[in-house]
A and B are shown apart, each in its own frame.
Chain A
Amino acid sequence: MTRLFTPKRSIPRSVEIGVGTAVAGSALLTWCLLSYLQLVSGAFLPRPDEVWTAFVKVLSNGSLFEHMQVSLTEIYIGFFLSSIIAVPLGIFMGSYRIVAAAIEPLVNFMRYLPVTALIPLLILWIGIGIEQKIAVIFLGTFFQQIVLCADVSANVSDDLYRVSYTLGVNRRQVITRVMLPATLPGVMDTLRVTMGWAWTFLVVAELVAASAGLGYMILQAMRGLHPATIFVGIFTIGILGLLTDLVFKMAKRWLLPWTVVH
């Protein structure tokens, strides 16, 4: 018993699964009680079976997949474009004083600017199509990724560079032989974290102005007073986020074997 409440001590696997199931189960149970016993009006809180019916409906008429496809396209393009530029830039910013001196003032200004404040401007400039969502995700993640990657690369031990020089590495080789592999685990963590943020930016952008996407689906359901469909949208986003996280975990196991061995 004392073991369970000692900081950082491991607990039995059965207890671990048990408490997790109990908490999730009681959340579900509370939802069932509140909705089936009509403690909360059906106009606000749908019953689980209504959510299931709504889910089957949007699944069978194909609209769920359409919206999902739009959202996934927007998020992956925006995130990919941001990552391929921000990651190397951030790594260099953390390691080369000259790069930091050049871009740090601009980056620090932009990173504290909430991207949501730019949405109206972006609508004005590029409309409400897919390009605008991509721009929101790009601007939302880009500067954060730069700063986080810069931090990762600034924290690479000096001794790793020193030892590589004494083994014959030159200034160009040090990038591929030391800087990139040394920063890779931190970069992966950065991508995982910023991917979560990208989902937030996407949904906000779609709620403000869109003609398709999961955020748009939720908004339409609200207008039509279909709380069950809102729930379907929320669950879908949650599950997609969970799957993305799983992919990152698997990629880590595969790409960074040295970080998972003990």
Chain B
Amino acid sequence: MAQVSIRNVALHFTSRRVGTVTALENLSLEIPDKQFAVIVGPSGCGKSSLLHLVAGLTEVSAGGCYVDDEVVTDPGADRGMVFQNYSLFPWLTVRKNVEFGLSIQNISADQRAQRAQHYIHAVGLNGFEDAYSSQLSGGMQQRAAIARALANDPQVLLMDEPFGALDSQTRTIMQELLLRIWEREQKTVLFVTHDIDEALFLGDVVYVMSGRPGTIVDSVGVTLERPRHYEMVTSSEFIELKRRIMVNLHREVEQAMMQNQEHLIG
């Protein structure tokens, strides 16, 4: 069980140059156990900040994040995270990267190797166990990062635009790969992206976020059946959902841009 609740969360930054900025305001979200929840929003709306709050990497200014009704105060191994820029440890091989979390928990070398091998296989990196990240392509690095997060067996998987830096063909393959793994592992996922196709293809529910201060303006239940295949992005159902999100998002992006202009002029 891992239910994520975000209750009336606000986040303020204070910087010397622009004063206090409200990144998130009065944001609430209930993500039931084993749901694949996706957040889309204009860039700079605070999507990543929201993930950092759930991960416990940043402190909320008001409200709280809860996992199974337990308030988040610090980062922990129960909430695994995958970042946009891969962030593998460059001094470790793929195998050692995947084993990293397990070695922190003092799990025996045998078990560590077994678990690591399982997830390396699951993400299709067999044969690259002893490679360093500098020897891998972006897609392969992100596979390793996903394997590393999963090997730790977190209850919640937080993904911060993990495929944003990949070319579109690789991205499609990675999305399908992620879905196959998720269908087997059945974890609660909170996935952030600005790509509507990606959001609909992956998610059970897609939350649309407003520009700054970020808050949830729409939640779209994705009724596409699972397991999903990439041809579904051309189905009429998919396009109907996409239209709805686009209209919302377009308005938010426009408003965000206007705000930025005012900011620059003012």
A163 to B91, CA, bound (A): 15
Q: Does the CB pair B135–A163 fall under 8 Å? A: no
Q: List 5 A-B contacts (CB under 8 A).
A: A163-B87, A166-B76, A167-B100, A167-B104, A181-B91
A168 to B103, CA, bound (A): 10
B87 CB contacts on chain A under 8 angstroms: 157, 159-160, 162-163
A227 to B85, CA, bound (A): 59
**Which A residue sits closest to B135, measured CB to CB?**
A261
A164 to B83, CA, bound (A): 12
B135 CB contacts on chain A under 8 angstroms: 261-262
The 10 A-B residue pairs with the shortest CB-CB distance, nearest first, are: A168-B77, A165-B75, A167-B101, A159-B87, A166-B81, A258-B132, A181-B91, A168-B104, A163-B87, A159-B83
Mostly, the A contact residues are helix
- Is A188 located at the chain interface by the 8 A CB criterion? no
B124 CB contacts on chain A under 8 angstroms: none
B100 CB contacts on chain A under 8 angstroms: 164, 167, 177
Q: Shortest distance in angstroms between A209's beta carbon and chain B's nearest beta carbon? A: 45
A163 CB contacts on chain B under 8 angstroms: 81, 83, 87, 145
Q: Shortest distance in angstroms between A100's beta carbon and chain B's nearest beta carbon? A: 18
A177 to B100, CA, bound (A): 9
- Is A123 located at the chain interface by the 8 A CB criterion? no
Q: Does the CB pair A168–B132 fall under 8 Å? A: no
A160 to B145, CA, bound (A): 12
Q: Shortest distance in angstroms between A91's beta carbon and chain B's nearest beta carbon? A: 15
Q: How many residues of chain B have a CB within 8 Å of chain A? A: 31
- Is A182 located at the chain interface by the 8 A CB criterion? yes
Q: Shortest distance in angstroms between B77's beta carbon and chain A's nearest beta carbon? A: 3
Q: Does the CB pair A166–B79 fall under 8 Å? A: yes
CB contact under 8 A between A177 and B104, given known A159-B87, A163-B81: yes
Q: Does the CB pair A162–B57 fall under 8 Å? A: yes
Q: Does the CB pair B55–A166 fall under 8 Å? A: yes
Residues of chain B in range 79-114 having any CB-CB distance to chain A below 8 Å:
79-81, 83, 85, 87, 89-92, 100-101, 104-105
Q: Does the CB pair B104–A169 fall under 8 Å? A: yes
**Among A166, A167, A184, A261, contact of B132 (Cβ-Cβ < 8 Å):** A261
Total A-B pairs in contact (CB under 8 Å)?
74
- Is B148 located at the chain interface by the 8 A CB criterion? yes
- Is A155 located at the chain interface by the 8 A CB criterion? no
Q: Does the CB pair A166–B80 fall under 8 Å? A: yes
Q: Does the CB pair B75–A182 fall under 8 Å? A: no
Q: Does the CB pair B57–A168 fall under 8 Å? A: no
A182 CB contacts on chain B under 8 angstroms: 89-91
Q: Does the CB pair A181–B89 fall under 8 Å? A: yes
Q: Shortest distance in angstroms between A204's beta carbon and chain B's nearest beta carbon? A: 37
Most interface-central of B75, B85, B105, B134 (chain A CB within 10 A): B75
A165 CB contacts on chain B under 8 angstroms: 55-57, 75
Q: Shortest distance in angstroms between B13's beta carbon and chain A's nearest beta carbon? A: 15
A256 CB contacts on chain B under 8 angstroms: 91
Q: Does the CB pair B104–A173 fall under 8 Å? A: yes
**Among A168, A178, A261, A262, contact of B89 (Cβ-Cβ < 8 Å):** A178
B81 CB contacts on chain A under 8 angstroms: 162-163, 166
A-B contacts besides A164-B100, A262-B134, 13 pairs, CB < 8 Å? A162-B52, A162-B83, A163-B83, A163-B145, A165-B55, A165-B56, A166-B80, A166-B154, A167-B148, A177-B104, A182-B90, A258-B90, A258-B132
- Is B152 located at the chain interface by the 8 A CB criterion? yes
B76 CB contacts on chain A under 8 angstroms: 166, 168
A164 CB contacts on chain B under 8 angstroms: 89, 100
Q: Shortest distance in angstroms between A9's beta carbon and chain B's nearest beta carbon? A: 22
A160 CB contacts on chain B under 8 angstroms: 87, 89
**Which B residue sits closest to A257, measured CB to CB?**
B132
Q: Does the CB pair A261–B134 fall under 8 Å? A: yes
A213 to B187, CA, bound (A): 69
